[in-house]
Amino acid sequence: MMKQHFKPFVDDLRATHGDNLASVILYGSAAAGDFIPHHSDYNILVALKRITPKDLRESHACVREWNKLGHPVPVYFTVSELQTAADVFPIEFDQMQESHKVLYGVDVLEGLEIHDDFLRHQIEYELRSKLLLLRRQYIPASGSAEGLKRLMASSLASFAALFRATLIFFGRKPPSTKHEIVAHTVGFLKLNGVPFEKIFNIREDNFTEQLDEGGANELFGEYMEQIEKVIHAIDSVER
């Protein structure tokens, strides 16, 4: 059923790249069964045997049509790059390995080794970077409840992905869905889970409370405080 949904795009990729196409893989929330319309994306990995400017130029037409449907441009890797890039992107490749479906070709993610050596550095860097970005985005959004609700709902997915990596760093096996990952992190690090539950409800259009500007700003403050506690927990581990 899922392969049929993506068949037109996969057929375009096959016609474009021919024998150079090794694999097309769906990864992320759609593969994990955690897809939310209007919030989640169809994330596609395209693995080629070689990548030259000509190969990328030739992909323009089919990728343009895919992008017009509202989907992000696929990530392009060569098969050999996938074998060596896991150390540079340990979080991303671990997520891909955990939740992916092969739409065409071989499973190029099978057997990739994710080393822990670089995991802590990337988690802390990404968490701090996204917290800084969240603070910047808060400034223009702070004047309205709707703006803050959109900001919190849109940012939660990124933090959930980093919470998943955090659980792995602490030797815990993370669940599959964002909601479960955040709940597991809350329990493990003894965080306040209420802000996250409220934001999930906003994200999933299940929020029934009346949230005015003051309440939205208060919720944002609680949300940011819990993220800071996750960073502190990682930073407190002896290097």
The pLDDT tens digits of the residues spanning 105-119 come to 999 988 777 766 678
Backbone φ and ψ for 29, nearest 5 degrees, come out as -65, -35
Number of H helices, E strands in the chain: 11, 4
- The two structure tokens encoding residue 49: 């045997």
pLDDT of residue 77: 93
Q: How confident is residue 216, by pLDDT bands cut at 50, 70 and 90?
A: very high
Burial label for 131, CB within 10 Å (0-12, 13-18, 19+), is middle
Residue 27 tokens read as: 């990864």
Q: What is the DSSP string of 67-128?
A: HHTTPPPPEEEEHHHHHHSTTTSHHHHHHHHHSEEEEEE--TTTT----GGGHHHHHHHHHH
- For every residue of 174-206, DSSP letters joined together read --SSHHHHHHHHHHHHT---HHHHHHHHHHTT-
Q: What are the residues whose beta carbons fall under 8 Å from the beta carbon of 194, sequence distance 6 or more?
A: 222
Query: Quick one: what percent of the chain has pLDDT higher than 90?
Result: 59
104 backbone dihedrals φ, ψ, rounded to 5°? -160, 145
CA distance 152 to 164: 18
Identify the residue with better confidence: 35 or 94: 94
67: CB partners within 8 A, 6+ apart: 73
State the average pLDDT over residues 7-30. 92
Identify the three-state secondary structure at position 233. Answer: helix
Say how far apart CA 193 and CA 160 lie, in whole Å. 13
Is the model's pLDDT at 38 over the cut of 60? Answer: no
